[in-house]
Chains A and B, each alone.
Chain A
């Protein structure tokens, strides 16, 4: 047991882990640098729009995660 590490054990689990990492990358550098422009989108600053896209993407990923967890029937 001494060298073991908890990692996903299914393809769906790996998919979720990758989605979580992508979400965190989307809200931090360097990605945040790519949307760091003084332009407006739908009347809001691009960085604000991007922030809320990331925020609502978190909801979508967790909704998908719920389906996977409940389909596999384990907590």
Chain B
């Protein structure tokens, strides 16, 4: 690609994101955890909608999802369904998490776990292990960002330089404006992604069929490659059981940045309003996936499936749209990596270093801001540059673990009798099964490893909880006045909290 326009457009996007991120601070001091961590609990419904939407739509939507459509077919739509189910999860749990944060001063997920079970050790354990999955996710997104800069510059910006450039940009505005920067930049990135996805998708359809309707694309797929229109897909590996268990495991993976986003809302009602409309954003996936389907007959010999949109764009689309695609893909990866980097820094400072080093809240607030730098440049950057082959494995294990923390949340929202030891035992049992069924015997019987983990985790959690001491009654009552404001149901009767 010889034109300078794609790179210029992509770099213009980066410059705009930086300005928005830096201005988000608006003269406020960012040295408190409340301000840097959860934006002073101030975000309105539109910002929150775009914050959560853009955060959940990663580079996967612009690269991985079309790649799945190209190699497997409609199986890719499990992603759109589970993202919508995550909106249901946000609708129900988000307002309660917000109230926990507002009333008890939590700024992280691990703080809430530590408080509910009166166990800083359990909070620190949750923070540390969640950090593994979060960092792996941030590394994958950073690799995606660097790859986009590499392609848009025609190879002039090598991967290592792209990694450093992207992380440096994020570091500047993340340090300066914290969660406010994430909110504002994600809002911008969310709108940009939606426009770019539909512009690229419709243009690609026009170039492939001569019209703007998707009908021509799918009629051709139906006639020539109908196996792409059903499960288990063209690869034969997306069974009903894997589709179902992947959705369920993903739905119950309460990742820490999502909690931080909920706690950044201006009110419980704001979260409910944003969550209600959140599924509408996932129309962003459709046009990108259609380009993947076009690739099935236009680019049949592609070496890497996840480059299908970029390859098609560079061969068939005007350079301005190629540049916008670069900007949109970069926006998708940056908007997903920055919340994870932020939440790792926030949680390690608040839930690990503060209790261990007995730090004050003021010092912890400053530490959280500074900690993003070593996390980015000594952990994320080397891993992204090295591109370790096991990274996807680390991510899968990390996300598998995320779902294993489910007992902690059951005890927070549904079951007062849940005990600290019950949660720990369930997590350890579930984690070991998830690791084994991810690495040694991947997804037995076509069922997701995290689902196998939950099947052992939950009975162990219940059994150990019933034979070990419960948390102090006053702590449990404090939580369940929010989780069950109208009391409990016991064998058909209602009981007050």
Contacts and interface: CB of A to CB of B under 8 A. Distances in A.
A28 B248 contact: yes
A62 B243 contact: no
Contacts of A44: 214-215, 218
Interface string A20-63: 10011001111011001111100111111001101110110111
B3 interface: no
B84 A38 contact: no
B77 A47 contact: yes
Nearest to A2: B417
Interface stretch (B271-279, B297-305, B337-345, B428-436): B271-279
A71 interface: no
Contacts of B214: 43-44
B337 to A, nearest CB: 25
A61 B91 CA distance: 11
A3 B490 CA distance: 8
Nearest to B269: A75
Nearest to B74: A47
Nearest to B239: A29
A23 B489 contact: no
Interface string B248-292: 100100000000000000001100110111011011001000000
Contact of A65 (B91, B248, B485): B91
B5 interface: no
Contact of B88 (A32, A52, A62): A62
A63 B231 CA distance: 31
A27 B240 CA distance: 11
Given A38-B229, A66-B273, A45 B91 contact: no
Contacts of A5: 414-415, 488-490
A4 B273 CA distance: 30
B276 A66 contact: yes
Q: Is the interface of B mostly helix, strand, loop or mixed?
A: helix
A74 B485 contact: yes
Contacts of B282: 55
A39 B417 CA distance: 50
A56 B279 contact: yes
A63 B273 CA distance: 8
B230 A36 contact: yes
B268 A75 contact: yes
A69 interface: yes
B489 A75 contact: no
B307 interface: no
A59 B279 contact: yes
B115 to A, nearest CB: 18
A8 interface: yes
Contacts of A6: 413-415, 480, 483-484, 488-489
B230 A37 contact: yes
Contacts of B48: none
B28 interface: no
Contacts of B487: 9
Interface in B393-442: 413-417
Nearest to A27: B81
Interface of A: 1-10, 20, 23-24, 27-30, 32-33, 36-40, 43-48, 51-52, 54-56, 58-59, 61-63, 65-66, 69-70, 74-75
18 contacts: A1-B416, A5-B414, A5-B415, A6-B480, A7-B489, A24-B85, A27-B84, A38-B230, A39-B222, A43-B215, A48-B77, A55-B80, A55-B279, A58-B279, A62-B87, A66-B272, A66-B276, A74-B485
Given A4-B489, A47-B231, A56-B279, 17 more contacts: A1-B416, A1-B473, A1-B488, A5-B490, A20-B88, A24-B88, A27-B81, A28-B248, A38-B226, A47-B77, A48-B77, A48-B286, A58-B84, A59-B279, A59-B280, A65-B272, A75-B485
